[in-house]
Structure 1
Amino acid sequence: MSKSYFEKAMKTTVTIIYGMLMLIGFNNVAQSEEILEPHGYSNILEAIEIDKTSNIESAKKYIELLEKDYEKLNTDQKELFTLFKGHALALEGKFDESTQQLEELIRNSKNETLVTRAHALVANIYLFSGNYEQAYQHASDAIEGLESMDSHPWHKYAALQNLTSLFRQSGMTNTAIGYARQMLKVVSQNKHPLQLCGSYFELADLELSIKSVDMARIHSEEAMLHCNEANDPIYYTLALDLQTKLMAQANKSDKALELLKEHYPVVKSVDYKTMTNVFEIRLASTYLELKDFSNAQTIAELAYQRAEELNDKVRLMELSKILASVYSETGELKKAVEYYRQYIDLEKEIDIMTNKRKMAYYMVSRRK
């Protein structure tokens, strides 16, 4: 991709982020208070569907609005609201409350499509909180329900996205790629920019992880195109991170650094800690590749603190390796050894965690 494309995309993204936060996050919610009729509730639920990961603050305001009028919702609206509320609670780290709501929806709902979505979502929450057997049991139930889902353009996409995420986090990359390809096939029919953005990004990132660089590059460029069109700052940033990884592999770290530095203030302004952490790791790694050890150390230490707050072992492992390299290059060997040992310990811990996840998956699979 040309530099001019990125410059144009970057300017667009700045406008997008502030525009979404100010206009969608506040004006639309205020307007919604004036249209709270049955179709008005449906419109708000549609807005939450789109905003729940792309504009978390906006989705939160909509959820608060519907919570006040919960008794006025019809059964389908109440169940969809419960699904979104469970998702929002998980994002806040309230895993027990989230799983409780989603499990209740699964038990009580007669809507097979929403039950399948709930299974796929709660599977990810259980996986993240270390309840592996529950995670794969729900994933298995979600997989069984995929074929019976209705034709609503968001439902199957959301379920496949959660299954892709689950198997990616489990270290089962080939299985994750299979669901990512299914997801892309589903969204290619509807052609919603946000769905195409998410699908191409997931597939490209997985392909890069198995060294399928040419396909990753093709799908990454598609992701950038659709994420820009979708006005989605979070996925756009993740797609940009993927692009800079590919640039580094092509020995274009200087161009990657240019993009990362320009985009960093925008990323921080969105205030989504996980996304910021991912971006800071890429920035620190690029500084390291270019032998700018001072900036690499500054960014990596900041990112390390953020990863500790998030208790994200994978990011801590990546940052330990970066800091070990930085301190080795700057002659602070004691610190280099300390971080390298930490990297080895975290790598072993993550390998053990991955093996436990795989074992739980196979145990659940044998029960079927």
Structure 2
Amino acid sequence: MNKYYFEKAMKTIGTIIYIMVMLIGINHVSQAKESVETQTYSNILEAIEVDKTSDIESAKKYIALLETDYEKLNTEEKELFNLFKGHALALEGKFDESTKKLEELIDNSKNETLITRAHALVSNIYLFSGNYEQAYQHASDAIEGLESMDSHPWHKYAALQNLTSLFRQSGMTNTAIVYARQMLKVVNQNKHSLQLCGSYFELADLELSIKSVDMARIHSEEAMLHCSKANDPIYYTLALDLQTKLMAQANKSDKALELLKEHYPVVKSVDYKTMTNVFEIRLASTYLELKDFINAQAIAELAYQRAEELNDKVRLMELSKILASVYSETGELKKAVDYYRQYIELEKEIDIMTNKRKMAYYMVSRRK
């Protein structure tokens, strides 16, 4: 990562902190009203569309503002607000509230485009919470609705992004790649930096998982370029993680470590736990590759605690393997064996979970 982006990212974080501070205290209500009055509701909804994953605090602020003025919104604005509110609730881990709001939108709306988006979004929430058949039923409904979606530059991108994520998390990599390619084709029409950033990252990461290293490297470079232009700290971090994986494969772990260490303060400042966890796993793994066992252990143990808080079994599996290797190298064999056993158990559990997901997908597919 170059110094220009680092400074830019730090300025962004400083701005977020400043906004949060300004929103506290006796001026909160008057500032909120002023913010709404100086923008149309449509403009605020467009801001949420862009910010909902790349600047979560900003999106939360706008959602809170619109919630107070909900009755003043027209029908289309209310429905788009409910879609974003459902997304925000899911990010907070309030899955029951999220799915309820999104299914109410699906049942009551006449807007086929927003219904398709809601199907695609709620499918991921159900998948994460273990309701596999419901997840794939909603995904199937989303796929059916793709062709009838309107030409708004964000709608089809968002639906395809959710479908890509769903099939990636399900272990159906080839299907995920199909939707990632569709997503890239759609965003190439609009050339929005954030959309290009997300699309190139998704495709590159999937290509790397199937050992298509050359294509992954090409698309990873594109992701870095567009994520930097978009000034999106979350996707930029994920793209950077992907770059360092490719560096490690090319025996450039020392260069990868430089990038990771330089960017780590920015990652922690953004305070997005899942992203931080992904980054720390890559950092611990790189220290391990370079035989720096002290730092590898310190970062891996920190990341392990974070993964436990998130109840993220995939990350716990990765970290168990790293810690087993670290303790084996440092002669703490009992700990090494314990973590290796845990790694095997988690791997089996995840395989069972993946097979259940595939079976649920097969059962839903047969109903069509």
Indicate the TM-score class for this superposition, using the shorter chain for normalisation: over 0.9
Report the counterpart of residue 224 of structure 2 in structure 1. Answer: 224
Which residue of the partner structure matches residue 336 of structure 1?
A: 336
Q: Deviations over 1:280-336 (max 9, x none)?
A: 000000000000000000000000000000000000000000000000000000000
Counterpart residue type for residue 185 of structure 1: K
Q: Distance in 1 between matches of 2:139 and 2:39?
A: 32
Residue 141 of structure 1 aligns with an amino acid whose one-letter code is D
Deviation at 1:125, TM superposition (A): 0.1
Would the aligned equivalents of 1:197 and 1:227 in 2 still touch at CA under 8 Å?
yes
State the one-letter code of the partner of 1:330: T
User: How much does 1:30 deviate?
Assistant: 7.7
8 Å Cα contact 2:6/2:266 also seen in 1: no
User: Does the alignment pair 1:361 with 2:357?
Assistant: no
Q: Which position in structure 2 is the counterpart of 1:56? A: 56
Written as runs of structure 1 = structure 2, the 5 A alignment for 1:94-173 is 94-173=94-173
Q: Structure 1: which amino acid aligns with 2:161?
A: Q
Mark the CA change 1:348 to 1:68 in structure 2 (over 3 Å): closer, same or farther.
same
Q: Percent identity?
A: 86
Cα 1:348–1:316, aligned 2, differ >3 Å: closer, same or farther? same
Q: 1:41: how far off?
A: 0.7
Change (3 A) 1:150 1:78: same
| 2:12 alignment partner in structure 1 | 16
Q: CA RMSD in A?
A: 1.8
* Alpha-carbon distance in 2 for matches of 1:18, 1:93: 26
SS of 2:34's equivalent? coil
Kept after mapping to 1: 8 A contact 2:193/2:226: yes
Q: 1:286 to 1:244 in 2, by over 3 A?
A: same
8 Å contact kept, 2:36–2:65: no
Question: Structure 1, residues 2-23: CA drift from partner, whole Å, max 9, x if none?
Answer: xxx6343333332333335546
* Contact map agreement 1:184 1:200 (CA 8 A) in 2: yes
Distance 1:58 1:36, change over 3 A: closer
Change (3 A) 1:30 1:361: farther
Note the C-alpha offset of 1:40. 1.0
Q: Secondary structure, in 3 states, of the residue corresponding to 2:151?
A: coil
Measure the CA separation in 2 of the matches of 1:153 and 1:22: 31
Q: Which amino acid aligns with 1:353?
A: M
| Structure 2, gaps ≥5 residues long | 24-28
- Partner residue of 1:284? 284
How many Å apart are 1:248 and its aligned residue?
0.6
Structure 1's unaligned 5+ residue stretches are none
Letter in 1 for 2:235: Y
CA distance in 2, matches of 1:244, 1:20: 28
Q: CA offsets per residue over residues 99-132 of structure 1, 9 Å max, x none?
A: 0000000000000000000000000000000000
Letter in 2 for 1:252: K
- Within a 5 Å distance, the mapping from 1:154-193 to structure 2 comes to 154-193=154-193
Contact residue 21 and residue 58 of structure 1 kept, 8 A: no
Deviation at 1:206, TM superposition (A): 0.4
* Counterpart AA for 1:290: L
C-alpha contact (below 8 Å) 1:17/1:233 kept by paired residues: no
Q: Could you give the per-residue CA deviations for residues 143-168 of structure 1, whole angstroms, max 9, x where no partner exists? A: 00000000000000000000000000
Task: Identify the residue that residue 26 of structure 2 maps to in structure 1.
Answer: none
Letter of the structure 2 residue corresponding to residue 18 of structure 1: G
State how many pairs are aligned. 364
Query: SS at the partner of 2:2?
Result: helix
Task: Write the distance in 2 (CA, Å) between the matches of 1:25 and 1:185.
Answer: 41
Give the alignment's TM-score, normalised by structure 1. 0.96
Output the CA distance in 2 between the equivalents of 1:349 and 1:311. Answer: 13
TM-score using structure 2 length: 0.96
Amino acid at match of 2:4: K
Q: What's the offset of the Cα at 1:170? A: 0.1
